[in-house]
Amino acid sequence: MFAASDRAQLSALDVSAELFFNEVVENLNLFNPTPGRPYAHVGIADTVRRYQQSACTSGAKTTETTPEKAAERAPEEPKDERNRLSNFPRFRLDQTFYGWVHDLSQAEDIAEFTTILGTTTARAYTQITSAMTLIHGLPKFHARCLAGEFTIEHVNAAAHACRDVKFKNLPSVDDYLADRRADITLETFKKSLGMKIAVLEPLEERVEEASKRRRVDITTGDDGTACLTLTGPAPELQACYIRIAAFARAIRSGNVAPFSDQVKPGISIDDNRGIDALMFDILTRTCPQLNIRVTSNNTTTGETETREIPLDVPTDASLAPADVVNAVKEGIANASADAEEDDDGLEAEVVLRMPTHGQWLESQAKMITTVPFLTLAGESDLPGVFSDGSPIPADTARRIAGHSKSWSRILTDPATGTPVDAKATTYQIPISVRQTLIAKWQTCTIPGCTRRSENTEIDHLIPFDHDRPGSGGLTQFNNLHCLCKLHHQAKTDRKYSVRMSHTGVLEYVFRHGITTESAPGDHPINAAHAKLFDAMRQREAEPSDPPESDDRFRGDPSRNARSPNTSTQGTRSPNAPRLDSPPQDGASHGDIRISEERPGPEAAAGRPGWVKNDPMISAFASKNEWIWDSGGPPPF
């Protein structure tokens, strides 16, 4: 029944694309040599090929925007039926289907679509754009979908991801999807496709385009609820989300230090709201700190001055919006009165503040970013990725890395880019292994769960035998995966089973007999990174493998073909380790020991030693846990 539903929805997309395309042909008055039959043309891939051949023939970049001029410059081709067909209508190499649909649509046609679909204008545009992207931009992937290899959810995800891909890059994306493994979860599919697109197109341009479309939308339901949607550049929204989550955790844990100047001594915070409810309340109910920021321009010197002025607002319980408005007006009037004669163009805004000083943020939130080594070294502009698989521009990744306080090296498979083995010898999982697992899985591994892997627990597929550690269930890379607390407990309660069916692929068996596989996504950015390493080796007079920085990996020839990435996070000691810092006191940076007393020297500025682990440092801290800090500077 679901397969039939998918086929019906694919048919609906096919009809949507056909109807809209016919409307475009009619509105553009394009000549159809066979009236009564569909307008014949070559697809996006063939049109791109024609433009590229034309550019090679002319020896210059193709700047033509009309298919007629491009066809005039194209080389002589065999006069078969296909080569007599026109190019894709209104084709430009830098055009996207999002822009194509919006540029060529007519208001009355969209209104007609909206009426037929019984939806909104925005949803009608989404339907048409998705249909055009799938049918005309991704024909090979479309064929696989018709064959039942992918679900309609994969179709929607691919269409959404590719709607802003330039026409010149769509054939490469389609080729990638034509060979893409089909037995993958939706989240894995979306993240891998996003990284493939980031390799093909400068992410800075996509972020800039997203910034132009930044917006806030609200959808109201008939049950009294509503959904507020923020759409815009990922870095800003990631930072916003982390700040709100950190604020909520501080309240939930009773951490009053950030609010010490606002609460009386001896007051504690006892709040029974969950984290999600707290985040909602913070976002919707947080009152602005009663300051205004005033900016003035000096017409004589040309200098701009910004200062903050506290507002005198009544603090009684009956505070009305008019009181705040009056206080703001009074504050602006006082600022104008205090301004110098040459000051002009006073601008004022109300300042909303939450605790943001570094020490507090470090104890509440962390951001894990994986950066290709060559990008970090300035030898490449491959994008980095957040822990959830979202690509970020190279410059942004380098800037985040520059402020990071701890570093881990991750080795990746050169073919797929997937993170590979990291070693552990005890039940306690070292930071280096945890970071590699986070980069590999990105989310909880159970199908459908989107909990970020850094907020999950590490599960042993074969349970660790505490009584006889050598008999099975060892802390080895292929015996570990990420499960959120809820699904980890369900596994412990034997509500489902999971095993490693073959290398790197998990097999879940649920109680009604449904069986499915969960595999980590491939990582096109890391794969492209490995190719850059190979190219650098070929340019060297005497090729040599990149030097290994950890003696634990020396002598393993399988490591030589793997590409190292650098993972950063922002919650560790200010003196982060060098990648090549040697073990001291029998321990390496990030190693954990359980002891009631400190197991060795105490860490200090620039000096290695043991640091007590607690929830302020790690969400996975347990009692009597100590972490080794190498005390070295960052590796750059």
Is residue 572 classed as helix, strand or coil in its secondary structure?
coil
Cβ atoms within 10 Å of 545's Cβ, excluding its own: 12
Neighbouring C-alpha atoms within 13 Å toward the C-beta of 571 = 22
The amino acid sitting at 272 is N
> Tokens at residue 44, please?
């996006």
- Taking each helix axis as running N to C, give the angle between helix 2-27 and helix 121-132, from 0 to 180 degrees, rounded to the nearest 10: 90
Residue type for position 366? K
β 505-510/496-502 pair status: antiparallel
Structure tokens at 37: 């039959």
What is the distance between the alpha carbons of residues 480 and 461, in angstroms, rounded to a whole number?
6
Compute how many other C-beta atoms are within 10 angstroms of the C-beta atom of residue 47: 23
Both tokens assigned to 614: 């607690």
Strands 515-518 and 505-510: antiparallel
Amino acid of residue 563: S
- State how far the Cα of 232 lies from the Cα of 227, in Å rounded to an integer: 16
Would you state the structure tokens that stand for residue 482, as one six-digit string? 């990420």
The set of residues, in sequence order, having a beta carbon less than 8 Å from that of 533 and lying 6+ positions away, is 374, 414, 546, 563
DSSP character at residue 578: P
Rounded Cα gap, residues 492 and 490, in angstroms: 5
Convert the pLDDT of each residue in 48-65 to its tens digit: 999 988 877 766 544 444
Structure tokens at 423: 């070693």
Say if residue 426 is exposed, middle or buried (CB neighbours under 10 Å; 0-12, 13-18, 19+).
Answer: middle
By the 8 A CB rule, do 295 and 335 touch?
A: no
Separation between Cα atoms, residue 132 and residue 115, nearest integer Å: 19
Provide, rounded to the nearest whole percent, the portion of the chain with pLDDT above 70: 71
Measured CA to CA, the distance from residue 361 to residue 246 in angstroms comes to: 7
Give DSSP secondary structure letters for 261-295: TTS-TT--------HHHHHHHHHHHPPPPSEEEEE
> From CA 549, how far away is CA 438, in angstroms rounded?
21
Which residue has better confidence, 351 or 282?
Answer: 282
Query: Is the model more confident about 392 or about 66?
Result: 392
CA distance 124 to 113: 6
SS3 204: helix
Work out the number of other CB atoms within 10 angstroms of the CB of residue 190: 21
Asked whether the predicted pLDDT for residue 411 surpasses 50, the reply is: yes
* 484 burial level (CB within 10 Å; 0-12, 13-18, 19+): buried
Q: Contact, 104 vs 90, CB < 8 A?
A: yes
Mean pLDDT, rounded, for 62-75: 44
Among 460, 244, 270, smallest CA distance to 355 is for 244
Please state, rounded to an integer, the average pLDDT across all residues of the chain. 76
Higher per-residue pLDDT: 358 or 280: 280
Bridge partners, residue 231, by sequence: 215
* pLDDT of res. 369: 85
Q: Are 528 and 385 in contact (CB under 8 A)?
A: no
Looking at residue 550, its pLDDT comes to: 46
Q: Give the pLDDT score at 35.
A: 79
Task: Report the pLDDT value the prediction gives residue 324, as an integer from 0 to 100.
Answer: 66
Give the per-residue pLDDT at 566. 47
Angle at which helix 121-132 crosses helix 97-104, to 10 degrees, equals 120
Q: What are 95's two structure tokens?
A: 């055009």
Statement: the pTM of the whole predicted model exceeds 0.85: no
pLDDT in tens, 354-378: 554 445 445 556 678 889 999 998 8
The answer to whether 592 and 613 are in contact (CB under 8 A) is yes
Beta bridge partners of 505: 502
Residues 6+ apart with CB under 8 A from 513: none
Of residues 250 and 179, which shows the higher confidence score?
179
Q: How confident is the model at residue 554 (pLDDT cuts 50, 70, 90)?
A: very low
CA 510 remoteness from chain centre: 30
- pLDDT confidence of residue 139: 96
Question: Are residues 258 and 355 in contact, defined by beta-carbon separation less than 8 angstroms?
Answer: yes
Q: Which residues contact 190 (CB under 8 A, 6 or more apart)?
A: 157, 161, 389
Evaluate if residue 576 carries a pLDDT over 70: no
Distance CA 415, CA 561 (A): 10
Q: Rounded to whole angstroms, how far apart are CA atoms 463 and 480?
A: 10
d(CA 17, CA 135): 7
DSSP letter (8 states) at residue 40: P
Measure the CA–CA gap between 279 and 246, rounded to whole angstroms.
9
Burial class (CB in 10 A: 0-12, 13-18, 19+), 21: buried
Q: How far is CA 18 from the centre of its chain?
A: 34
Tell me whether residue 439 is exposed, middle or buried, using C-beta atoms within 10 angstroms of its C-beta: 0 to 12, 13 to 18, 19 or more: buried
CA distance 442 to 500: 18
* Residue 372, beta-bridge partner list: 565
Amino acid making up residue 523 = H
Q: What is the pLDDT of residue 218?
A: 77
- Reported as a single tens digit per residue, the pLDDT across 415-427 is 778 887 666 656 6
Distance CA 13, CA 129 (A): 10
Q: Where are the beta strands (DSSP E) in 181-238?
A: 215-220, 226-231
* Phi, then psi, of 32 in degrees rounded to 5: -110, 110
What pLDDT, on the 0 to 100 scale, is given for residue 85?
Answer: 86
Q: Would the pLDDT of 2 be above 50?
A: yes
Positive or negative CA dihedral for 614, 619, 621, 623?
positive
Q: What is the pLDDT of residue 579?
A: 33
> Of 213-217, 340-344, 604-608, which gets the smallest average pLDDT?
340-344
What pLDDT sits at residue 52?
A: 86
**Could you identify the residue written with the tokens 């989107």?**
450
Token digits of residue 23 = 């409307």
If you ran DSSP here, which 8-state letter would residue 309 be given?
A: E
Q: Looking at residue 351, what is its pLDDT? A: 63
